[in-house]
Amino acid sequence: MAKARVVLDVNVWISGLLWTGTPNRLIQAAEDGDLTLVTTPAIVEEIRGAFARPKFAARITALNTSMGELMETLLSIVEVIQDPRIEAVISQDPDDDKILACAMAAGAGSIVSGDHHLLALKRYSGIPIVTPKQFWDAWAKRPE
């Protein structure tokens, strides 16, 4: 059975790399080779910028890690595709358009997000947009 191709929103990456919980389980599944996480250079840069925010500094220090190590972890488990051209504004939040465009270009089966703008869409071009828990619950029930 082919591995699921999934695009994680920036908020899921941040949660998954800095805390335990369902987003972290998704990242662990990718590290174990059970999921294919797909991203683009533009999304990687948005994640890097988020990690640089002062509000995450204490958490990164508490984990005895660095932004560089977190980015190395991310880059070691993702498939990076070329930034797709974004033809028009798709979502209420233009920053979310790169997530939607990545999912389309990657042939992703799901977009996983905690962002209310994206979740309100529910689907984009047939690709479901779900919370980490919704994805995990459905994915965990898949036949092996």
Per-residue pLDDT of 53-86, as tens digits, reads 999 999 999 999 999 999 999 999 999 999 988 7
What's 96's domain CATH number? Answer: 3.40.50.1010
CA distance 19 to 17: 6
CA distance 51 to 61: 12
**Residue 137, token pair as written in the block:** 């619950």
CA distance 144 to 102: 27
Per-residue pLDDT of 15-53, as tens digits, reads 999 999 999 999 999 999 999 999 999 999 999 999 999
Eight-class DSSP state of 34: S
**Residue 110, token pair as written in the block:** 């799901």
Q: Is the entire prediction scored with pTM above 0.85?
A: yes
**Residue 122, token pair as written in the block:** 């529910």
Q: Across the chain, what does the average pLDDT equal?
A: 93
Query: How many domains are there within the chain?
Result: 1
Task: Please state the separation of Cα 123 from the chain's center in Å.
Answer: 16
In terms of residue numbers, what domain contains 21? 4-140
